[in-house]
Amino acid sequence: MRRKFVAGNWKMNGSLESANALVKALVASIGNSPAADVVVCPPFIHLESVAALVNGSGVSLGAQNLADEEAGAYTGEVSGAMLKDVGCEYVIIGHSERRTLYGEDDALVSKKFLRARDEGLIPILCVGESLEERESGAMESVIARQIDAVLTAAGVQALCNSVIAYEPVWAIGTGMTATPEQAQDVHAFIRSRIAAEDAAAAEGVRILYGGSANAANAATLFGQPDIDGGLIGGASLKAEDFVTICAAAA
């Protein structure tokens, strides 16, 4: 059985005060031994403060991005070692907002994936198609291309010791959640793609759904056989909603 996994991607939201208040509320409600893995991914600038508040709790820390280089003259970048240093265990890689707004292509995403692994961080690798790609029938080829880029660069074992998030771009922040059947179909497709390389590894890898997941629809989504939890945006900014989503993953 795969243990369920829920991560909150706070994106570029909140103040130091609101980040601290949110994580205090989460730690108080989620306690020390939640039935699912629970991760919060605050903005870089709030990581250290949130790290102190999750320390010793059942909530783990992740970052939203990392530099593809190890160290050096890369103004404005944050390295994997720096993330480890402040207590991150996870890092989101290849979020569609990074791919579309900041031009991250499969090669860069794969490089960041390898860098994260080298630093001892667990990547949460995001894949997903746009509405245009879905409507034109290109969905499977897009997802396959995104998965294969990392499979080729890192190997199947590395991918399976990571977490994958399927986030259809058309569902992110739109309120247009994929139906449980739509999401399940793509999750099964991703798992089969990995199974072609290593069936046992594919059985173990956790594949999260992201895109307008909320307190009302989480339980149905998480009830699908290949959906192992969620990567939650907007609803992760409200403690009560995020706690309900985590409970739905138990």
Residues in contact with ligand 13P by CB under 6 A are: 9, 95, 167, 172-173, 210-213, 231-235
Shortest spacing between CB 75 and ligand 13P, in angstroms? 26
Q: Which is nearer to ligand 13P, 81 or 130 (CB)?
A: 130
Dihedral over alpha carbons 37, 40, 233, 208 (to 10 degrees): -30
Q: Residue of minimal CB distance from ligand 13P?
A: 233
CA distances from 118 to 69, 73, 115 (A): 11, 20, 5
- Assess whether 181 carries a catalytic annotation: no
- Assess whether 95 carries a catalytic annotation: yes
Shortest spacing between CB 210 and ligand 13P, in angstroms? 4
Contact 190, 164 (CB under 8 A): yes
Shortest spacing between CB 171 and ligand 13P, in angstroms? 6
Q: Which is nearer to ligand 13P, 63 or 213 (CB)?
A: 213
Measure the CA–CA gap between 92 and 122, rounded to whole angstroms: 9
Which residues have C-beta within 8 Å of that of residue 185, sequence separation ≥ 6?
Answer: none
Shortest spacing between CB 64 and ligand 13P, in angstroms? 8
Q: Ramachandran region of residue 137, left (φ > 0), alpha (ψ -120 to 50) or beta?
A: left
Q: Which of 154, 148, 64 is nearest to 118 (CA)?
A: 154
Annotated catalytic residue within 95, 97, 104, 133: 95
Dihedral over alpha carbons 131, 139, 100, 40 (to 10 degrees): 100
Q: Which is nearer to ligand 13P, 79 or 212 (CB)?
A: 212
Q: Which is nearer to ligand 13P, 157 or 174 (CB)?
A: 174
Q: Which helix (H) or strand (E) holds 185?
A: helix 180-195
Rounded to 10 deg, the angle between the 180-195 and 139-154 helix axes is 40
Q: Which is nearer to ligand 13P, 110 or 212 (CB)?
A: 212
Annotated catalytic residue within 46, 129, 167, 187: 167
Furthest C-alpha separation in the chain: 48
Shortest spacing between CB 205 and ligand 13P, in angstroms? 18
Instruction: Please identify every residue annotated as catalytic.
Output: 95, 167
